Amino acid sequence: MNALLQRRLTTRELDDLIARAPRAVSVVGEELRASVADRLRAVPPTAHRRLDAWLVEQAGRPSGPFIWSPHTARRVLGNNALRRVRSDPHHIADAVRDEIADQLLRCVTGYARGGSLAHWLAGLTPPVLGLTAVEATNWATAALECVGGLDAHWRVAASDVYYDVAGARTTLRGRRDVVIGEEDDRVVLRIRSGSPGKSAGSGLRSDLAAEALAHPQGIAPRRYLGLWPDAGLILGVEGSLENARAGARDFVRAAVAQRRYTLVRAA
């Protein structure tokens, strides 16, 4: 089934979507990898580009350069704090403070690169640092409320997934926050703020495609689920080859649209 799944965001519904995920896994082969590479090479970038679900959902419209802010830092800090809570149970706010302290220590000891999260945190005033801690605490709390009561064993993803497309100066990024199961037999959860837009399904399919392409054996997750705590909704797609191909096509469309925007702005 390749239709977009939709449920209310409750522990019971999420447990059901995980438990009823198709048992058979799909495997992305060299044919799809070669097709993605050929199509993206045909859309020459002006610089190395990174394509992700957000760009797909925005139909390739550029959103400007990335900058750190309390809003953009909350997911990294919040997920790292949630990982601390998972391995050594203690209050989320304390875990966030410990995570920020470790980031600052990394900067003081010279292990932080310019432009990194640690480097940005080290330059904040106390009020902005406090706001960042609050944002991260809210993120971690919402994430824990989503998955804390699940029957299935879950873990916080170590990072997003990245797939470098051969010869195309392009990296595909797949967003992942929580993983259920082993890497060869998994369901992936992605958490987003706000509410899903009309293109949310395309974003989930592109995340699925990046996830499958980045896997060493090309194994796709059995389901890819997007959680929107603010809206109380779950959207999901099956980890089928059809959905992986659709996600790959959306990446190519986003690259084409992005190049058009770039050329128009440069004219």
The residue segments making up the domain with residue 15 are 5-61+152-266
Task: Indicate if 103 and 156 belong to the same structural domain.
Answer: no
Residue type, 251: F
Residue at which a domain ends, from 147, 182, 214: 147
The stretch 179-204 carries a mean pLDDT of: 95
Same domain, 261 and 160: yes
- Please tell me whether residues 158 and 255 are part of one structural domain: yes
- pLDDT tens, 48-64? 999 999 999 999 888 77
- Give the per-residue pLDDT at 266: 64
d(CA 31, CA 153): 34
Residues 200 and 175 in one domain: yes
- Residues 110 and 207 placed together within one structural domain of the fold: no
Question: 137 and 170 share a domain?
Answer: no
| Tokens of residue 187, six digits | 């369901």
What is the reported pLDDT for 29?
92
Last residue within a domain, chosen from 122, 147, 172: 147
Both 49 and 124 in one domain: the answer is: no
Pairwise CA distance, residues 118 & 219, whole Å: 34
**Does the structure show a pLDDT above 80 at 35?**
yes
Query: What mean pLDDT is predicted for residues 74-86?
Result: 95
Q: Which of 110, 126, 147 is the last residue of a domain?
A: 147
CB 178 within 8 A of CB 164: no
Residue 54 shares a structural domain with residue 74: no
Residue 49 and residue 173 in one domain: yes
Q: Are residues 229 and 168 in the same domain?
A: yes
Q: Which residue has the higher pLDDT, 234 or 261?
A: 234
* Domains held by the chain: number: 2
Provide the pLDDT confidence category of residue 264 given band limits of 50, 70 and 90.
confident
262, 164: one domain: yes
pLDDT (tens digit, 9 = 90+) per residue, 111-154? 888 889 999 999 999 999 999 999 999 999 999 999 999 999 99
Backbone φ and ψ for 13, nearest 5 degrees, come out as -65, -40
Phi, psi angle pair for 73, to nearest 5°: -85, -15
* pTM for the full predicted model: 0.93
Question: For residue 144, what are the contacts with CB-CB under 8 A and spacing of at least 6?
Answer: 82, 85, 92
List the alpha helices (DSSP H) in the chain: 11-19, 30-41, 53-57, 70-87, 92-108, 117-122, 126-147, 200-214, 241-266
**259 and 156 in one domain?**
yes
What is residue 178's three-state secondary structure? strand
How big is the CA angle at 199 (ends 196 and 205), to the nearest 5 degrees?
100
